[in-house]
Structure 1
Amino acid sequence: MLKIAYSPIYHHPLPPGHRFPMVKYSLIPEQLLYEGTCSEDNFFTPEKLSEKQILRTHTAEYWEKLKTNSLTRQEERKTGFPLTPKLVEREITICQGTIDNAKHALEHGISMNIAGGTHHAYANSGEGFCLLNDICLASHWLLDNNLAKQILVVDLDVHQGNGTAKIMENESRVFTFSMHGEKNYPMHKESSDLDIELPDGTEDSLYLQTLENNLPRLIDEVQPDFIFFQSGVDILATDKLGRLGLSMDGCKQRDKFVLESCKQNNIPVAVNIGGGYSHKLSDIVDAHANTFRLAQEIYF
C-alpha cells in the first residue's frame, strides 16, 4: 500500500497575501481522495521530530533560536516566513514525515510526503521557505541505523538544493544530484556532487533528454540502495518563480521516468513534493497529484 505522510499542520496559515501557497497542502489530499487515487488508509499523521534527531543534522545554536522564536530579523527574512512556534512545529512534523517515509519505502518500495523537500535549509540557518532539512535528517537516520549504505538524492525542483549540498558535502555515502534553473534562486549556489544547470525557457524535450542521459548513469555509478526524490513542480512554464518551460505532460513524464527507474532497479524511494507556484492553484494541485497517481500506477 502507498503510504503518504500528511498532517493538517502542513497548511498552517500565513499572513494574508503571503506568496507561499500553504493551501495546496490541504487541496492535494482532498483531490486524491475525491478522484479515488487514494483512500483514507493511505494517509498517516507523523509525530514531531525528536530534538536528538534534529541535532544530528542541525547546530544546537540554530535549533535553540528556532525553538525559542529568537531568529534575528535578517535571519527571519532569509527564511521567507514570519517565524512562529506553530511554524516550527509544522517543520518538525514534516521532517518526521520524511523519516517515516524512509521506513515505509524500505517496506513497500515507495512512500510519499504531502510536504517536504526543504532543501534550502543549512545546518545553521534557514532560507527559501525551509527551516530544517528533511532529506538530510532522513538520510542521517537511515545511515545511523544501518538501513542504507549509499543514498542518492535526486533533486528536480527548479531551485538548486543548496542546503542539502552543503550539509552533505563531506558525506561520501550521500550523493547529491540537483538539476535546476541556471539563473534562478539561489544566486549563490553550493556544489552538489552533480549539478546540471538549465537555461531559462527549457522545454520538455531538452529537460527529459538531459534527465534520461544522467539518471540511469548515476544509478549505475553510485549504486544507491535508497533514493530521495524531490519532485518540485516549479519547473512548469506556468510557474511564477520557475523560469523553465515544461508542460504539464512533460512534468508528468519526468516523474514517470524517475519512479520507473527506481522500481526497475529495485531501489526504495521516498518522495517529497517540493515547490510549485503556478498562477492557477489548480495547475499546482494537478501537477503534484500526478506524482501520486503515477506512484499508484507504477507500484501498486
Structure 2
Amino acid sequence: MRMRPTLSWTPTDDVLPGTTDLKQVTEALGGGRVLVLSGAGISTESGIPDYRGEGGSLSRHTPMTYQDFTAGTRARRRYWARSHLGWRTFGRARPNAGHQAVAAFGRHGLLSGVITQNVDGLHQAAGSEDVVDLHGSLSRVVCLSCGAFSPRRELAQRLEEANAGFDPVAAGVNPDGDADLNDEQVEDFKVLPCTACGGVLKPDVVFFGESVPPPRVELCHDLVRTSASLLVLGSSLTVMSGLRFVRQAARAGKPVLIVNRDPTRGDRHAVTRVALPLGSALTAVADRLGVPLDGQAEPAR
C-alpha cells in the first residue's frame, strides 16, 4: 500500500445518507466481538485536527513523504523542526469521550480489537489494550541506519537542549504532529543523529509514500477474520490502508458500521453511517448498554 498526500476520492452516489439513529451500532456492540477501526476524526475533540473534514489540514498542508524525508538534510530539518514543536501539543493532548468509550467497551468484553490509523497514542492513554497502531506511533523513534528504536521523549529532550530558545508561533498542528511553520522559522533548527551509530532518525510512523509493514497488515486481517462486525470511527477511508479492512469485512458478510459526520469511501460497504459527533454518539451508546465510562485518562505522551 502506498499512502499519498492528496485527496484522491470525492463523494459519489455510492455514499450512504447520514443518520442520527444509533440502534444498529448499539446492537452490534451489544452482541460483542466488534473490531474498531479509528481515524483522525476520533481525535478532533482532543484538539488534534482531521485531514479531510471541515477545515481539514490537507487544505493547507501537504504531509511529509518518505521520499522527501530521505532525500536530503533540508527536508529533514524542516520536518524535525515542525514535528518537535507539534510534539509539545501532542504531549498535552488527552483522550476525549470517544476514546474513553472505546476503552470502556473493551473493558466490558465487547471488542475483539482496536486498529487505529492515528499516531497520537490517545487510545492507549484512555486505557485501551492491544491497540494496533496501523501507521505507527509518534512516541517512538527509529534509526534508518542501525534500526535501533528509542522513546520520542528522549529525543525531544535532546532537541530542546540543542535548540534552546526555539519557540516559533505555528499556524496550527496537523494529525501527523507536524506544526505549520515556514522555511524562515526552521532554517536554524539543529537536527540530531542516532546516539548509537550517528545515523538518520525518523519517527516510527508510516509516512505518505511508505508501506505499512506486511506483518502488521496481516495481523489486522486476522482481527477482521475473527470479528463479528467492524465499527469505523472517524475515518474517511480515503486511503487503502484502512479501506481494505472494510472491504474484507464486507466480502465475508460481516456488518460494517460507520460513525463519521461526512460521507466516506467505505459507505457502499456499510449497513449504516451515523453522522454525529463521536464523543456524544459513543457516550450515548455506552449509556444504552449500561457501560460506565470510568477509565482514567492519561496524557498521550
When normalised by structure 2's length, the TM-score is 0.36
Higher relative contact order (CA 8 A, sep 6+): 2
Structure with higher Rg: it is: 2
Larger proportion of helix: 1
